[in-house]
Structure 1
Amino acid sequence: MQIIHLTYPVKENVIPSKIVLALGFFDGVHRGHQHLIKLAAKTAQEKRLPLVVMTFDRHPKEVYQKAKVTYIDSAAEKAYKMEHLGVDYLIIIHFNQGFSQLTPQQFVDQIIVKLNTDTVVAGFDYTYGPREIANMKNFPKFAKGRFQIIDVPKQSYDGQKIGSTEIKQAIEDGKMEFAAQLLGAPYVMSGIVGHGLRNGHKLGFPTANLVWSENKVLPKVGVYATKTKIGGKWYDSMTSVGYNVTINQSKRIFIESNLFGFDQEAYDQKMIIKWYKYTRGEIKFADLAGLKKQMMQDKAEIKAYFANK
């Protein structure tokens, strides 16, 4: 897969052929997105054209509303998922003030048409300007017959809409199993192993401290059954999200994984956490002995969870 970063105005012949173009922000590349991309891939295969996905480098709310936005995927995580869905080109448009001021007709003429698009595939709720005008119902009016449009209906799971907003809420509520059902896989956070206070080592539970992208959606404070990858290998693990209330009163959130069967220095190495199940909230213990006893119980419970999975 080739990644192409574009800044408006878009030049001609970015891709040297007609294309099938899937449109969306695709945060999480969840089951609804996967359905859309697979439909676009089938269309591209039938027409013998490359499959292109177009997204933005930030959510439009960051520009239109100056809002702080959290994300399910980092740019690298999103690209990884796209590549594994068979996408040929991932176009990432820099969503700046100039791009945000395009009219719906300009967006179609100066972006979609300039990209030499044969077919557009987009979800029922895709917008390219003010929602009441720039919606899928009005898309043919702006297209003027220059490309085909495939409108993909809403996707649901167990009566619940599959959407990035719903998934973020599930993660923030600690409902990791439900989030995984909507995503089609466990929620993932990636980063590097940072330097901690080594309190886990003192307790006999050495931890790897995740340094992550600040705009990632954070799981609810507590302890989780997770799998953690360091040094190219996955380990069953228990991961704490919290403030280390027994040891200090820091206002900073820590994400610390105790990897079962791993006890090495791994500072600055790549680290990936898959989140499976919330097991308990954060507790302030009277002393470190109480904390250690609870951690032993946590480890036994999480080991049993993975043994039965």
Structure 2
Amino acid sequence: MTELIRLHYPIVNFKKPVQQVVAMGFFDGVHLGHQAVLARAKQEAEKRGVPLAVLTYDPHPIVAFQKLNQPLRYLTPLEQKVSIMSRLGVDKVYVMRFTSKLSKLKGQSFVDEVLMHLNPLTVVAGFDHLYGANGTNSDMSHLLVYAKERFGVITVPELDDLNQKISSSTIRKYLDNGNVDMVTKQLGHPHATTGTVVHGEARGRELGYPTANIQTPENEWLPGIGIYAVKIQINNQWYLGMASIGRNVTFGEARPITVEINILDFKEEIYGEAVQVEWYHYLRGEVKFNGVQSLINQLKLDAEDTHRYFNDK
């Protein structure tokens, strides 16, 4: 099991670990580009016979540089990020609190006062990784100079998808546009969110399509408004579903955005259950229907499309 160790700058009262390979990055989403970095670092660790550690940060570095106009949201909140890294063979995850003091460290100081505490044999990061204050040559091309022969440096080149850079920012844009198929392609796995099943307005039950209303943590990045084919995990069991992210515009104006999932071939009450949702395919946009029967007819088509999508996979 991956060990999680929290750090704060300046680092004090910290016992230096055994030599290890250290992969650096924020790794939001742990997408295919991140996975390439971790795979190269794992290869190096196995070749050297040492553990593989990751140095990452919390919260997102943006908090140290600008005012936020909305809550911080992540493709993979920390717990989920560590879980994925564990499956990829990471032995330790060092989570450095990202503060103003840390953000002002110049490259050489970052190496001397942060990295060297981790006793790196080799440091691995993506080609565009930055590790110190802006404008201070804190990029991968300068890291070997700052290392002063104390550790090796491996820079992993850009990974692209049909000439489209694979990046967390690109994936966030795809999510906002509802393009979860491309999100899956760039992540290498479906985008996942969590939540708790809570009471809603019970309209779905009246229509013959009861829904689980999911209260999602505000720090998780939901797809844009629309109807999706999903899988939902309840008590370690996975089910197929069709999910709506929207305002239920058929029943009124200026309504809040909700997440509702009709779980196919499922009749149990599950209020209070913790769930995980995997977002697979965009079915259609949200539509304001002329009447209840038109909505019911569309829900029937949505259920058929959802079954068809998963049967074809």
The alignment's TM-score, normalised by the length of structure 2, stands at 0.94
SS, match of residue 275 in structure 1: strand
Deviation, 1:103, is 2.2
Mean Cα displacement is larger for which, 273-282 or 125-134?
Answer: 125-134
- 1:43 aligns to 2:44 (yes or no): yes
Query: Does the 8 Å CA contact 1:14/1:115 hold for their aligned counterparts?
Result: no
More divergent stretch after superposition (97-106 vs 19-28): 97-106
Correspondence 1:88 to 2:91: yes
Q: Superposed, which structure 2 residues align to 1:15-30 within 5 Å? A: 16-30=17-31
Report deviation, 1:162.
Answer: 0.9
Secondary structure, counterpart of 1:266 in structure 2:
coil
* CA shift for structure 1 position 55: 0.7
Unaligned runs of 5+ in 2: none
CA-CA distance at 1:97 after TM superposition: 2.1
Superposed CA offset, 1:210-229 (max 9, x none): 22121322212110111111
Q: Secondary structure at the match of 1:33?
A: helix
Question: Which position in structure 1 is the counterpart of 2:208?
Answer: 204
1:114-153 to structure 2, matched below 5 A, reads: 114-128=117-131, 129-131=133-135, 133-153=137-157
SS in 1 for 2:93: strand
How far is 1:15 from its partner?
5.3
- Tell whether 2:78 aligns with 1:75: yes
Partner SS state of residue 117, structure 2: coil
Paired residues in the alignment total: 309
Matched, 1:262 2:266: yes
Aligned partner of 1:228 in structure 2 is: 232
**Secondary structure of 1:114's partner?**
helix
Residue 157 of structure 1, CA deviation: 1.5
Q: Can you give the 5+ residue segments of structure 1 that lack an aligned partner in the other structure?
A: none
Taking a change above 3 Å as real, the CA distance of residues 181 and 238 of structure 1, as seen in their structure-2 partners, is same
Q: What displacement does 1:13 show?
A: 4.9
Correspondence for 1:103 = 106
Residue from 281, 305, 309 that aligns with 1:301: 305
| Fraction of identical pairs, as percent | 38
CA distance in 1, matches of 2:269, 2:154: 51
| Residue identity matched to 1:281 | G
Cα deviation, 1:116-155, whole Å, max 9, x if unaligned, reads 1111001100111215611111112222111110011101
Name the Cα RMSD after superposition.
Answer: 1.5
Deviations 1:244-293 (A, max 9, x none): 11123344211111111212221221111111111111011122222111
Partner residue in 1 for 2:223 = 219
Letter in 2 for 1:94: R
Which TM-score applies when normalising by structure 1? 0.96
Q: In structure 1, what is the Cα distance between the partners aligned to 2:255 and 2:11?
A: 44
Q: Distance in 2 between matches of 1:4 and 1:194?
A: 34
Larger CA deviation: 193-202 vs 127-136: 127-136
